[in-house]
Amino acid sequence: MDSLVIWLKLPRPNSAVKSRVLIARIRRRNLSPRIDTLRGVNPLSSSRLRIAAISFLNPAPLMWDFEHPPLEAPLSQRYQIDRMLPSECADRLSTGAADIGLIPIAALAAHPGLRILPGCVIASKGRVRSLLLVRRAGQPLAALRSVAADMASRTTLAHSRILFHHWNNPQVPFLPMAADLDAMLERADAAIVIGDPALMALEERANRFERTGEELVYHDLAQEWHSLTGLPFVSAVWGIACSSPSGGAAIGSALDESVTQDFIQSRIHGLQNIDALVAEWSTRIPIPEETIRAYLTTNIHYVLDEECLEAMKVFFRMAAECGVLPEYSFSMSPAAV
């Protein structure tokens, strides 16, 4: 990992190429579902609840207790963690392969049998930095003929499709591609980049302009959504499978309160340990510590409050009106925090 830091500090002409390699490595890491069973636990145990989690930076505070002492060991007796792409988490829940998952909210409309675990959210109430639409400066939004899209998050694509309806370009095709900005822009007029690769694309922005001379416009999709609706951009929530196949651990109402408190307490403790998370993640991704700290404390909002619930209702209404998602409605109250 030391080489990652060295690449950032050395102003070599090919630093942009190295940044692309780093992005590709991180994408390969996130695209390869793996089971990270917490240490000291029998992986064959069927009594634990299976968590479908993701490896991006933004949920790090939510996962604090599950990955750090003193609660890591006791929680590992109750939960087994599998890591995958955000778009895969809902599929795991709907097929019974997981009991709890950090799911893009768009997946709730596709899998209406899922329920929301109160208290926690991944949202942004302004600029988020990790959800980008990048286009060439000479091509206005209404004139884009194609958009290369990182398919990691269904919710981001659904928000983007709604925004394109309001940008008078509702039918622009989304072309599935890996998150490599240069390759995406070679194939399409614009690119949607999500998660850690988006953060790194912003960090590499000046280098890319020096290398290519191409002027790009970077739209922060959360900021665009807030400008349109006046509401937060809600990306993901903890979802619950109402039941799981035999041999798995079904979640019933008797467990809901205990499970909810485990996840809320993990969020609280994670937000109390931002400095430790910054130190950890600065060795994993080539982003300055101050950027990581601002991202976790300012760009991302983690409490599922009334404003986020209202934003979700508006999102589902607008998605149905635009034909982006089937009609879906829900009602719940935010848990006490």
- DSSP per-residue codes, 33-50: -EE-PPTTS-TT-SSSEE
What domains appear along the chain, each with residue ranges and CATH number? 2-122+233-321 (3.40.190.10), 131-229 (3.40.190.10)
Sign of CA dihedral 152, 150, 218, 140: negative
Q: How confident is the model at residue 27 (pLDDT cuts 50, 70, 90)?
A: very low
Average pLDDT over residues 69-95: 91
Residue 193 CA to residue 198 CA, distance in Å, equals 5
Query: Quick one: pLDDT at residue 245?
Result: 37
Query: Quick one: pLDDT at residue 248?
Result: 39
Query: Quick one: pLDDT at residue 154?
Result: 82
Query: Quick one: pLDDT at residue 88?
Result: 87
Model confidence at 271: pLDDT above 80: yes
Query: Quick one: pLDDT at residue 190?
Result: 97
Q: Name the token pair of 315.
A: 């999102």
Q: Which residues pair with 83 in a beta bridge?
A: 34, 53
Residue 9 CA to residue 45 CA, distance in Å, equals 46
Q: How confident is the model at residue 335 (pLDDT cuts 50, 70, 90)?
A: low
Residue 2 vs residue 111, higher pLDDT = 111
Which positions ≥6 away from 203 have C-beta within 8 Å? 8, 19, 286, 287, 288, 291
Measured in degrees and rounded to the nearest 5, phi and psi for residue 201 equal: -65, -40
Q: How confident is the model at residue 12 (pLDDT cuts 50, 70, 90)?
A: very low
Mean pLDDT of the chain: 84
Q: How confident is the model at residue 35 (pLDDT cuts 50, 70, 90)?
A: very low
Q: Name the token pair of 139.
A: 């091509």
Query: Quick one: pLDDT at residue 243?
Result: 59
Residue 213 vs residue 25, higher pLDDT = 213
pLDDT tens digits, one per residue of 141-198: 999 999 999 987 789 999 999 999 999 999 999 999 999 999 999 999 999 999 899 9
Q: Which of 22-31, 126-135, 145-154, 249-258 has the lowest mean pLDDT?
A: 22-31
**SS3 annotation, 119-140:** EEEEEECCCCCCEEEEEECCCC
Residue 111 CA to residue 137 CA, distance in Å, equals 38
pLDDT tens digits, one per residue of 291-314: 999 999 999 999 999 999 999 999
**Encoded amino acid at 5, one letter:** V
Q: Residue 52, SS3?
A: strand
Model confidence at 40: pLDDT above 80: no
Average pLDDT over residues 113-140: 95
Which positions ≥6 away from 324 have C-beta within 8 Å? 158, 161, 162, 318
What percent of the chain has a predicted confidence (pLDDT) above 70?
80
Average pLDDT over residues 317-336: 84
**Are the CB atoms for 105 and 310 separated by under 8 Å?**
no
